[in-house]
Structure 1
């Protein structure tokens, strides 16, 4: 039997999926790791923890294979974007993985926005000016961690670190590169102006390569440890956002992919880079012929997790007694509340926000609370608030790429019938959920098969995605949402005038309390 492996390097876990020749899921493994938040606005990961999660996942899914008769065609990657790791000249790490969720560069980001350089750089890189981007992170390192900045000889992201550790490579696929804020998406090379602003030299960055780049000759020690043949093809793959579109077959005009995992996004595919004059949307490469235009949100499933841990912690024991997942129990509670949560709105900006407001100082809030509202209303409002926010992004996206006429749903939220229906009602669009839940890993293996000449076109993934379930808008519900959405949008604009003030207050007193 021939097999492929898709590796999905996420923010809080790495998922490894083994597929057979027909791209059917044979086995999955998922290993988590800590997102370190040791100080305000920090969000870092440990390199060894991620590498261990990756290796253990490979070991788990290949257990039982006989490589005398079974063939592992390729291992290919989907990776979270915008991470940054600094290394010295001997390739010793000087930092942990500084993730997309880290917003310590907020002050330097605001400087870029205010001095006009940010707008110029965005127009060439397609990456909105925000603390998530390595562009801003490098400015933060330069100013806040000068010793590290001066020692740094190399900068990589997490996927590139894994390839360097396994093969000694120093390369980065253009999909990941296009999310750094340092990469010119029209010239397909590192941007001279962005490098000048950060003070980083081109030699400190990896060589840009296609997602179809193949590494072979795995270090024999790692091959033995992981238990796979040393000549297995490792394909670079691409960023998780672009691959998510591919994985749900949302690569036709007007078909949007909505993903909600830890974070979230809405994206559509274009055959060329598209820049938003207002700087609200990103343009990232899938490959040179497919460009993903969209907006990411910081606050997705992690906000639901916050609600579970802080508002419904007692429900964990109830769920165990009922032999239910706690999140399923909470969605069943939310389903008993009518659409609109009886006028309770929730702005889900617990981790600042990227699209649509691009404000790292943004903070979450409930609005409209009365004596009549219960915890059930609050959990419904949390779920609706996450979708309302992504709908706001879709309005900006339509200004850039035209009308959307279908939503392909993926990520953890796509498993919830309530959330699927909620999305259909709020967007007033059909929401289709492909049968293949492991969309990122599946898309990574399609890139591998194209790299190896097994598949001719990315569009051939349509044959692999399988059956789909479609949810259509409920008129009774979307009429309610039509009234609430404008209030949600106006309120977000009004609150934005005070986000910086409350965020600075929190930073001041958080630091004081720690001292």
Structure 2
């Protein structure tokens, strides 16, 4: 299996025989790639997992499911590559972020990981705001104080609601902490995670902010060591080697969040590189030389010191499609294909039907964890085809709101957008997005850029790439793109519909909040 369909994979690194392993732990599954340092993927394995929602607004996952997925996908990837796990020279990690998990000294979870989209910590948001004025706190951390996405809120919830786990925890870690500690016994995380912790000065995400930790009652000695994403933090233990088949002593790098890893895997190295990752959530990211002051955007660190990666992110793009196929289709097992066939039979605008894709609240640009999804414009003439197309159009409208806010961040119109992720495999959806945005989508032929980014981090840690720029260049040179052009007439029609979509949330916000309270969130 070749990235770019066997195209030129860039300049030859020092030793093309060295194989790298990229572990990509995502919201709904694990992918593992076996790759060469030049960016050529030899094998890819996949394993799905389910998250739990024991109460409305809660989203959590047992990290043992991540580990089981790693073991299963690793076997698949090595079998496809025709290589033994023992041939791997170094391991890199890409993870969903942020999520918080209390770990014991053996890297076992004492409570499920609380995910970025979890809303259980609304009361903790208010408690933090009572300690530090919101404007002062958000200016310092560079991000919005909201449940889940600001990891400090989940930590505060654990302290108040899970006292046994809180007292027993050796380390309060993140997803890459859980995986790398399981591999090496070392408890680390990286600046992409730290930047979203709520426990850091955004201008220095390479260390915990001792003053903030003290004010919020967090013992900084129980937080993981901060390491560079491409830094070797340890080597594979004998116990981990026995489970994985990898060699004892194999170096493991710290890894980073999945969006920064995907940006590296797509070759994003400077502010001209706009990356769109279409998955369970939609993320748009662009490297910048400083954090943005636009609070509608998440300020993540990027892989090298001196670069940040502002991220605009919706909450429920792919989730909305998954929900529709699960709950609204009668033909079981056909999933997105059946939905696409339905949507193709409805006209642009879905016969006057709009869909708000806020099934788990919304982030960029609204930052409202109590926002709710809705169909608006239903009538007795509405068909399932209209419903299906409205979901695809509604998620595209939400993406447009992110792109419009991005143009404020970079101070210039966005031209071409490089698109990756499972949500870009659907031609109809891609065309709807291009038409709604009125912009070219350059859909990368090789989609698994998070796994590739993780492998490239391993290559950097192993010295097979001597710089971030060299790794990004390898990623760019080995991945061709299929360009989806917007249709001018359809773009004009969607341009007339977009203000109606944009006006629907503010018109229904208070009703959505009140309705949510009737069911406990």
Is this a same-fold pair by TM over 0.5? yes
2:359 aligned residue (331, 335, 350): 350
Q: In structure 1, what is the Cα distance between the partners aligned to 2:423 and 2:502?
A: 22
Q: Which residue of 2 aligns with 1:393?
A: 402
- The answer as to 2:374 corresponding to 1:365 is yes
2:457 aligned residue (440, 447, 457): 447
Q: What pairs with 1:27-426 in structure 2 (closer than 5 Å)?
A: 27-63=43-79, 65=82, 71-87=87-103, 93-112=109-128, 117-132=133-148, 133-187=150-204, 188-276=206-294, 279-287=295-303, 288-312=305-329, 314-316=330-332, 319=334, 326-403=335-412, 404-426=414-436
- Pair 1:91–1:50, CA change in 2 (3 A): closer
Deviation at 1:198, TM superposition (A): 2.5
| SS class of match (1:507) | coil
Question: Could you list the runs of 5+ residues in structure 2 that have no partner in the other structure?
Answer: 1-16
Contact 1:84 1:97 in 2 (8 A): yes
Contact 2:184 2:236 in 1 (8 A): yes
| SS class of match (2:442) | strand
Q: Which residue of 2 aligns with 1:482?
A: 495
Q: In structure 2, what is the Cα distance between the partners aligned to 1:10 and 1:303?
A: 17
- Of residues 387-396 and 9-18 in structure 1, the stretch that sits farther from structure 2 once superposed is 387-396
Contact 1:254 1:402 in 2 (8 A): no
- Of residues 104-113 and 433-442 in structure 1, the stretch that sits farther from structure 2 once superposed is 104-113
Q: RMSD value over aligned CA atoms?
A: 2.2
| SS class of match (2:235) | coil
Q: Which residue of 2 aligns with 1:504?
A: 517
Contact 1:36 1:43 in 2 (8 A): yes
- Pair 1:82–1:504, CA change in 2 (3 A): same
- Of residues 373-382 and 220-229 in structure 1, the stretch that sits farther from structure 2 once superposed is 220-229
Contact 2:292 2:299 in 1 (8 A): yes
Question: What does the per-residue CA deviation read over 1:85-134, in whole Å, with 9 as the maximum and x for residues that have no partner?
Answer: 12357765331111112110123224545776333232222232111121
Deviation at 1:461, TM superposition (A): 3.2
Q: What pairs with 1:449-468 in structure 2 (closer than 5 Å)?
A: 449-455=459-465, 456=467, 457=469, 458-468=471-481
- Pair 1:331–1:102, CA change in 2 (3 A): same
Q: Which residue of 2 aligns with 1:511?
A: none
TM-score (norm. length: structure 1)? 0.91
Q: In structure 2, what is the Cα distance between the partners aligned to 1:120 and 1:20?
A: 46
Aligned length: 497
- Pair 1:42–1:292, CA change in 2 (3 A): same
Deviation at 1:385, TM superposition (A): 0.8
| SS class of match (2:430) | helix
Q: In structure 2, what is the Cα distance between the partners aligned to 1:225 and 1:141?
A: 30
